[in-house]
């Protein structure tokens, strides 16, 4: 542990931290709320039959997601170190830290394709400003507009580069002056925009069918795959299993209430996903479009709707501003995991750590972007780069990271440490039943759920 009065303190790296409770919440919620909510969640709901998927998803968030988030939080705050350093500090001389290294790799893979999609968001914001959607005409025209763009070589690369530079700029400014400040302003803006769009969508004639779809479960559509998709989405949307909560948690003061922040973050993320659902589904139904359009939903179906909607041009701009903000507050969290790792493990300066990370990401991202076009035939294990990175992170590394986090906290650190962290060494009260329930979820239910899902998808 560092001692501020020691003669070495001046030479040691001074750790950044969050400045306020609200700052911690918006930063965590900012990481959680992202393309996962605006792009992935609506199309998964559409493909998996609506309300039943949402209910299963809610169950996973509460019973598996929150316990994993709290476990990662405990690891981060107790160690006050980056994703790898955390395990080294808490379990010196053991191999747990390998999981931290994998978490950093996971963030690298996610951000490679995430920044490509973020770049698409930039392009679509421009298109919205130029009213391109109205000009492209029907959904066939919009589908061509999207595939022509995504499969072209240069434009997506330029957008991807701009997106990375924007994220880099914020992270270079640091945790308190960059990430926290940006999230404090942008998260309220983001919620406001999505609420405005939801109101517009809900007041369309014929919106009722969309609401029905979102809130009346049709259990006949549920298969084993629905559960897989729901748990995968809970991991992705809450940014779990990838060292993010460990890293952000390490910047949180010992006075904050881990249980409350975790619950609020999960609630904000879920609420946002539901409002996004209310913004998208009623419009989809009002225009008689099938909800199961897959990943093209946001870039093809929605522009189609915008082109016909009264005030659609304006709503399109608002929507893509929201998409871009949501993507940025998440990408900075992914970038911070890697930057913190470079800063602390290799004693790099923040500026150079971010620059190096950006460069590696840029190269990997170029591969992902080009895999939609000229490199479409370059396949590893039958997948192009984009799909491979998505698969490796979401289906392998994140699950593994989440599993290690709960097992480490539940079995290695144990009840006393958990109690100590959740009560801030006795300063807060936590009812015994809640502690027991959490302990059960962390030790048994979460690991079992992850194991079952992993086995199901690999065999």
d(CA 292, CA 47): 4
Question: How would you write 221-275 as a 3-class SS string?
Answer: HCCHHHHHHHHHHHHHHCCCCCCHHHHHHCCCCCCCCHHHHHHHHHHHHHHHHHH
Q: How many residues does the chain have?
A: 459
Whether 122 and 159 have beta carbons less than 8 Å apart is answered as yes
Taking Cα atoms as reference points, which of 399, 405, 424 lies closest to residue 70?
405
Contact flag: residue 112 with ligand TRP (CB under 6 A): no
d(CA 313, CA 47): 27
Output the smallest distance, CB 208 to ligand TRP, in A.
Answer: 28
Span of 34-42, 153-161, 163-171, 188-196 interacting with ligand TRP by CB under 6 A: 34-42
Per DSSP, the residues of 163-190 read HHHHHHHHHHT-IIIIIIHHHHHHHHHH
Burial, 39: exposed, middle or buried (Cβ in 10 Å; 0-12, 13-18, 19+)? buried
Place of tokens 């945790």: 175
Count of residues that bind ligand TRP according to CB under 6 A: 15
* Phi-psi region at 412: left, alpha or beta (left = phi > 0; alpha = psi -120 to 50): alpha
Burial, 314: exposed, middle or buried (Cβ in 10 Å; 0-12, 13-18, 19+)? middle
Fill in the per-residue mask, 218 to 237: x = in contact with ligand TRP (CB under 6 A), - = not in contact.
------------------xx
Question: How would you write 29-66 as a 3-class SS string?
Answer: HHHHCCHHHHHHHHHHHHHCCCHHHHHHHHHHHHHHHH
Span of 142-150, 238-246, 260-268, 375-383 interacting with ligand TRP by CB under 6 A: 238-246
Contact flag: residue 244 with ligand TRP (CB under 6 A): yes
Which of residues 285 and 299 has its CB atom nearest to ligand TRP in the complex?
299
What interhelical angle do 224-237 and 446-458 show, nearest 10?
A: 120
Which of residues 80 and 242 has its CB atom nearest to ligand TRP in the complex?
242
Which of residues 104 and 342 has its CB atom nearest to ligand TRP in the complex?
104
Taking Cα atoms as reference points, which of 258, 339, 246, 252 lies closest to residue 19?
252
Which of residues 315 and 394 has its CB atom nearest to ligand TRP in the complex?
394
Contact flag: residue 330 with ligand TRP (CB under 6 A): yes
Contact flag: residue 110 with ligand TRP (CB under 6 A): yes
- 121-150 residues near ligand TRP, rule: CB under 6 A: none
Which of residues 35 and 413 has its CB atom nearest to ligand TRP in the complex?
35
Which of residues 207 and 234 has its CB atom nearest to ligand TRP in the complex?
234
Among 35, 109, 298, 348, binds ligand TRP (CB under 6 A): 35
222: tokens are 């549920």
Output the smallest distance, CB 287 to ligand TRP, in A.
Answer: 26
Fill in the per-residue mask, 332 to 361: x = in contact with ligand TRP (CB under 6 A), - = not in contact.
-xx---------------------------
Which of residues 45 and 110 has its CB atom nearest to ligand TRP in the complex?
110
Burial, 1: exposed, middle or buried (Cβ in 10 Å; 0-12, 13-18, 19+)? exposed
Output the smallest distance, CB 150 to ligand TRP, in A.
Answer: 19
Taking Cα atoms as reference points, which of 36, 438, 34 lies closest to residue 232?
36
Output the smallest distance, CB 26 to ligand TRP, in A.
Answer: 14
Among 18, 27, 31, 182, binds ligand TRP (CB under 6 A): 31
Contact flag: residue 34 with ligand TRP (CB under 6 A): yes
Which of residues 137 and 188 has its CB atom nearest to ligand TRP in the complex?
188
Output the smallest distance, CB 261 to ligand TRP, in A.
Answer: 16
Which of residues 167 and 333 has its CB atom nearest to ligand TRP in the complex?
333
Output the smallest distance, CB 177 to ligand TRP, in A.
Answer: 20
Contact flag: residue 262 with ligand TRP (CB under 6 A): no
Among 79, 239, 250, 357, binds ligand TRP (CB under 6 A): 239
Binding residues for ligand TRP, per CB under 6 A? 31-32, 34-37, 110, 236-237, 239, 242, 244, 330, 333-334
């Amino acid at each position: 542990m560092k001692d501020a009065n020691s003669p070495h303190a001046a030479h040691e790296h001074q750790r950044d931290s969050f400045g306020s409770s609200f700052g911690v919440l918006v930063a965590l919620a900012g990481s959680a709320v992202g393309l996962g909510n605006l792009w992935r969640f609506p199309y998964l709901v559409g493909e998996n039959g609506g309300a039943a998927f949402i209910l299963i998803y809610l169950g996973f968030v509460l019973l598996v997601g929150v316990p994993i988030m709290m476990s990662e939080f405990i690891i981060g705050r107790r160690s006050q170190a980056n994703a790898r350093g955390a395990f080294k500090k808490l379990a010196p001389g053991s191999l747990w830290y390998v999981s931290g290294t994998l978490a950093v790799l996971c963030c690298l893979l996610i951000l490679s394709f995430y920044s490509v999609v973020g770049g698409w968001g930039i392009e679509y914001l421009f298109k919205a400003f130029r009213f391109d959607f109205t000009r492209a005409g029907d959904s066939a025209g919009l589908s061509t507009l999207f595939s022509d763009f995504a499969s072209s070589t240069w434009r997506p690369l330029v957008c991807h580069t701009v997106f990375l530079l924007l994220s880099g700029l914020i992270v270079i400014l640091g945790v308190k002056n960059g990430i926290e400040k940006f999230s404090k302003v942008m998260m309220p803006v983001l919620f406001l925009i999505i609420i405005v769009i939801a109101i517009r969508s809900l007041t369309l004639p014929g919106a009722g069918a969309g609401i029905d779809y979102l809130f009346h479960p049709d259990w006949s559509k549920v298969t084993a795959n629905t559960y897989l998709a729901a748990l995968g989405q809970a991991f992705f949307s809450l940014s779990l299993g990838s060292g993010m909560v460990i890293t952000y948690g390490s910047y949180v003061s010992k006075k904050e209430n881990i249980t409350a922040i975790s619950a609020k973050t999960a609630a904000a993320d879920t609420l946002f996903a539901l409002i996004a659902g209310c913004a998208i589904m009623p419009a989809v139904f009002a225009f008689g479009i099938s909800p199961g359009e897959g990943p093209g939903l946001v870039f093809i179906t929605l522009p189609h709707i915008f082109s016909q909607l009264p005030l659609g041009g304006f709503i399109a701009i608002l929507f893509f501003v929201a998409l871009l903000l949501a993507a940025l507050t998440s990408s900075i969290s992914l970038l911070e995991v890697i930057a913190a790792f470079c800063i602390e493990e290799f004693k790099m300066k923040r500026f150079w750590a971010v620059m190096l990370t950006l460069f590696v990401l840029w190269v990997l991202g170029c591969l992902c972007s080009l895999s939609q076009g000229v490199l479409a035939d370059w396949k590893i294990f039958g997948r192009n780069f984009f799909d491979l990175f998505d698969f490796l992170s979401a289906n392998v590394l994140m699950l593994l990271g989440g599993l290690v986090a709960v097992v480490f906290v539940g079995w290695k650190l144990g009840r006393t440490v958990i109690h100590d962290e959740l009560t801030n060494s006795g300063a807060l009260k936590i009812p015994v039943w809640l502690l027991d329930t959490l302990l059960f979820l962390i030790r048994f239910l979460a690991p079992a759920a992850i194991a079952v899902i992993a086995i199901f998808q690999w065999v």
